């Protein structure tokens, strides 16, 4: 099957998430903001401790912090950290003895996250520009890797999981939420960069998704469907019905 044009995809993903950072109340295929976060399972009392403007641009697809079980003093890596909601949330768990590093490729998201970090004194959080397929970080450095609604946007998911494994210490945890499908998407969808950027076109068939994680040296511990997550646009809803496009949260442990 032919694949999406990767340069076109990156440009369109950056465009969408530039808008998410700058105009969080715009119209998108997906829900955003605090209402979504609470619906997915984020405790309101902990959201109250995170910069409000970061939550305004929250576009996650699930809640996986109960699976991650982040402990005080642990080091956490957030793949596709956006405006920082999950990075700040993780920092509440690690405390000052731990650290959280967010990696994102979109300048406007990084600038917003960095500004909010400074204003809110999250000293144990840092943000780096980079691609999740080629992390600008040393290996065996993190206890937990998290990601929320981002890996589906990558045209090289196997590389993402391999890089997550490289970044983790042995026994480290991968706790993610993402969009997958029950059925393989057709070529008309998988070659459409606009649909990829809207979190639909890049969704991987669930069995293949699991295999890619296992091939990268992980043992899958838990998988659950996030039925409370739903798309907004008609085209996204139709794809959800036709191909079983859905949100899942997953926990895996590095064994190799």
**pLDDT tens digit sequence for 41-84:** 999 999 999 999 999 999 999 999 999 999 999 999 999 999 99
Secondary structure (3-state) at 183: coil
pLDDT at residue 3 greater than cutoff 60: yes
Cβ 240 vs Cβ 217: under 8 Å: no
Is 110 a residue whose pLDDT tops 70?
yes
Tell me the pTM: 0.93
Residue 236 has pLDDT above 50, yes or no: yes
Confidence of residue 1 (pLDDT cuts 50, 70, 90): very low
For residue 123, give every residue at least 6 positions away whose Cβ sits within 8 Å of its Cβ, in sequence order, or none: 96
Question: Residue holding tokens 């400074």?
Answer: 118
State the burial class of residue 48 (Cβ atoms within 10 Å of its Cβ: 0-12, 13-18, 19+).
Answer: exposed
User: Phi-psi category of 199—alpha, beta or left, where left has phi over 0 and alpha has psi -120 to 50?
Assistant: left
């Amino acid at each position: 099957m032919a694949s999406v044009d990767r340069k076109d995809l990156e440009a369109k993903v950056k465009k969408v998430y530039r808008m998410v950072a700058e105009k969080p109340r715009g119209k998108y295929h997906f829900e955003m903001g605090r209402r979504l976060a609470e619906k997915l399972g984020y405790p309101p009392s902990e959201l109250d401790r995170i910069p409000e403007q970061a939550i305004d641009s929250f576009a996650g697809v699930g809640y996986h912090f109960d699976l991650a079980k982040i402990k005080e003093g642990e080091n956490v890596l957030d793949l596709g950290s956006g405006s920082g909601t999950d990075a700040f949330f993780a920092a509440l768990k690690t405390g000052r003895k731990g650290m959280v590093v967010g990696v994102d490729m979109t300048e406007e998201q990084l600038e917003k996250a960095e500004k909010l970090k400074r204003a809110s004194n999250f000293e144990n959080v840092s943000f780096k520009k980079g691609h999740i397929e080629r992390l600008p970080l040393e290996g065996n450095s993190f206890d937990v890797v998290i990601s929320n609604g981002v890996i589906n946007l990558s045209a090289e998911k196997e590389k993402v999981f391999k890089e997550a494994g490289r970044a983790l210490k042995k026994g480290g945890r991968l706790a993610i939420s993402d969009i997958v499908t029950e059925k393989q998407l057709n070529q008309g969808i998988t070659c459409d960069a606009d649909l990829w950027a809207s979190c639909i076109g890049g969704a991987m068939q669930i069995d293949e998704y699991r295999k890619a994680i296992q091939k990268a040296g992980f043992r899958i511990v838990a998988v659950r469907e996030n039925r409370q997550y739903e798309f907004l646009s008609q085209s996204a809803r139709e794809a959800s019905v036709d191909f079983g496009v859905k949100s899942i949260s997953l926990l895996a442990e590095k064994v190799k």
